[in-house]
Amino acid sequence: MRIDEAADAYATHLARVRRLSPATVRAYRSDLADLSASAEAVSLEGIGLEELREWLWQATRRGDARSTIARRTAAARGFFSWAHEHGMIGEDPGIRLVAPKRGRTLPRVATAPILARVLDEMSAAAAEGDPIALRDHALLETLYGSAVRVSEVCGLDLSDLDLDRRTARVLGKGSKERVVPFGAPAVRALDAYLVRGRPVLRSRADPSRSERSATNAVFLGVRGGRMGARSAYDVVANVLRPELGGAAGPHALRHSAATHLLDGGADLRAVQEILGHASLGTTQIYTHVSSERLAATYRLAHPRA
């Protein structure tokens, strides 16, 4: 069987049966296309364990991150295991493929005073009434206030918001739905944006492109359609980059919110629920961030440090 045909069928399986996120499915499909090109093979039978190892070795020599190589390993192992189960190949070459150990890196976190100052400045700009400023302020307050992913905030519809209860219903990874809380500052920013900013942006929508006009979307782009994750990333990065240095996008707000919750005494499992993590182990990385901060404070303040 041709690799591209099998890879397309596998991508459909990941999306419909395993219900992985569209971003994960695209990444796995891209990995398999790269494998096919690297091995110069057209059929599944043309790829064995040696070809798989050579493919990963090429990625290592290019300097790809460990996380990228680990994902590629997972994509290849899952694909060939699935192909073997469905009788497309006689032997599974990926069963002996070993992924490199991932290095643990602490996420980039902004301090509460830095974020308070940034959000106060955005609030002052939004008070002038510019619809983009109103939207951007509401966007950052929502991201930080609820610790949601950028894809989740861009997917919000008006019916997902409950400003009275200060909650939002989001669709996370694996199409898992959860309800997240947010605070009073996010409520005020959202209310101002929905009343004074969003109608202006909505009026810019092209009637002939109704499928992109996003009638119910909370966050809109400059042309009235649903705001994309890339646009949201740019908004956040432009604000945080001067404060944190280097790349700092919406995930920095998510990391910061999780860390600040734990610093404030929040239960780890409650933070897991808010973040939508399937495993508690994923959430535990934020306890390391808090410990690092605690140690730094101790070193600065304690006379016997």
Catalytic residues: 149, 173, 251, 254, 277, 286
Residue environment code for 215-239, b if the CB has 16+ CB neighbours within 10 A, otherwise e: eebbbbbeebbbbebeebbebbbeb
If you count them, how many residues does the chain have?
Answer: 305
Backbone angles phi, psi at 59, to 5 degrees: -65, -40
For tokens 């409520």, the residue is 187
| Contact assessment for residue 106 and residue 248, using Cβ atoms and an 8 Å cutoff | no
Candidates 186, 217, 194; CA nearest to 123 is: 186
* Residue closest to 203 by CA, chosen among 189, 223, 187, 217: 223
Residue partners of 69: CB distance under 8 A and separation at least 6: 56, 59, 60, 99, 100
What's the Cα-to-Cα distance from 227 to each of 47, 70, 124, 161, 236, rounded to whole Å? 41, 31, 23, 16, 13
Alpha carbon distances (Å) from 156 to 113, 171, 214, 218, 274: 28, 8, 11, 6, 16
Which residues 6+ apart lie within 8 Å of 7 measured at CB? 29, 32, 33, 36, 79
**If you count DSSP H runs as helices and E runs as strands, how many of each does the chain have, helices first?**
15, 3
Using alpha carbons, list the distances in angstroms from residue 21 to 13, 152, 174, 175.
12, 11, 5, 7
For the beta carbon of residue 163, count every other beta carbon within 10 angstroms.
14
